[in-house]
Structure 1
Amino acid sequence: METLTKNENADCLAHEIAEQFKNQPCTNTTGANTVPGTEPQFSNYPELLTKCHLSIFDTRDGTVMPACVPGLVPSLVLTNFTQSIYSDVLIDTKYTGVGIGSEKNWIVVVLTTNTPAGNFAPYSSNGADLISRVGLIYSSMFLLVGNILLL
């Protein structure tokens, strides 16, 4: 099994999502016991991404795994992830990074990949790169139009 690298942006998102869960009670249908496809959807998910300087484009290949463990007892947390629907995800070698956040009885693990759609790179650098490319295109067009007008 490969070692996962800590990803600060995934840590941030894990913390923000754990914050959303903190007042939700533990039941036999929450966290790792949730039936896939029935996980809670947060209407403020785009805001959570923004808080962590992420975009949906850099997080699509990642995986968010919430679990509710009363008292966050370490051995039970480990069992909750390794003896649940999450066990197959945890051994998938496509994941290279991890972020972890917790609030009250909730722990959230966010796994990242090394792909552009899953690396959880901060959007500010991607945005700056896009702005510089757009700026270069406009500057080039301006010079081209200026040269045409001078002819």
Structure 2
Amino acid sequence: MSCCIWFIRSNLFLCYLLIPLTHRHRRRYDPDDDLLHDINTYRKALNLPILEKNYKASCLANRIAYDLEDKHCEYFHDFHPLPGINPEIPNFQRSVKKCDININTTRDGVVMPVCVPEIMHENDLFSNYTKNSRFTPYLNNSKYTLAGVGHDLDKMVLIIGTNTASGDFSSATYLLHGASKGRHWLLMTTAFLSLFVFLFN
């Protein structure tokens, strides 16, 4: 009898120790991060580069998802993604400005929204992208290297871009700073050459 009691107490104590470990390793489901993780797993299987998370593109994705919230799911059945400014995306230029993105750096970007009533169901969300013939030409293209993800209720938006100046979703400030440095370097080079010519003529 005493052996049985000791066995029960030992098992209860073991369970008590394991519960915190179980909770610690239980991953909270996040639609945005999980979708990007699944898309990258899909791309790895195709020997394509993974999509690095871009925070400005994610800002834009969240704003677009919010603006699409009043659209019925039927609206998305005929949606065709296009690189650059897509007339089907409401308030695109305003959202770009709000996220401090230079509009010229979105020309090669592609916005891909879906309506998923069960957005918390990971498999449904993933298959809405990888089994959609309108999205797969972009998802299967190696030139895309970055992504932004955002959602609002049952609307999910995935944005992909490139590492070029026409698709990296850079801020206007960054581009102006780069242009300023370029002009400064050009002036310095011109001044140096002028001095060189003056001294050796």
What one-letter code is carried by the residue in structure 2 that aligns with 1:126?
Answer: L
Contact 1:22 1:103 in 2 (8 A): yes
- Whose Rg is larger? 2
2:164 to 101, 115, 121: 115
Give the Cα–Cα distance (whole angstroms) in 2 for the partners of residues 133 and 3 of structure 1.
31
Structure-2 residue corresponding to 1:76: 124
Partner of 1:34: 78
RMSD: 2.6
Equivalent residue number for residue 46 of structure 1: 93
**Superposed CA offset, 1:48-72 (max 9, x none):** 1111111221010010000000031
Q: Give distance in 1, aligned partners of 2:179 and 2:50.
A: 32
Q: Deviations over 1:1-48 (max 9, x none)?
A: 221111111101101100111121212x41xx3253796242x32211
Q: Distance in 1 between matches of 2:65 and 2:148?
A: 12
> Which residue, 109, 112, 137 being the options, matches 1:65?
112
8 Å Cα contact 1:18-1:66 kept in structure 2: yes
Structure with the bigger percentage of helix: 2
Q: What is the distance in 2 between the residues matched to 1:103 and 1:35?
A: 18
Task: Quote the sequence identity (%).
Answer: 29
TM-score scaled by structure 2?
0.60
- RCO greater where, 1 or 2, for CA within 8 Å and sep 6 or more? 1
- Regions of 4+ moved over 4 Å: 131-137
**Normalised by the size of structure 1, how large is the TM-score?**
0.78
Q: Where does the alignment leave 5 or more consecutive residues of structure 1 unmatched?
A: 138-151
Indicate if the aligned counterparts of 2:79 and 2:88 stay in contact, CA closer than 8 A. no
1:91-125, CA deviations, whole angstroms, 9 ceiling, x for partnerless residues? Answer: 10010001000001100000010111001111111
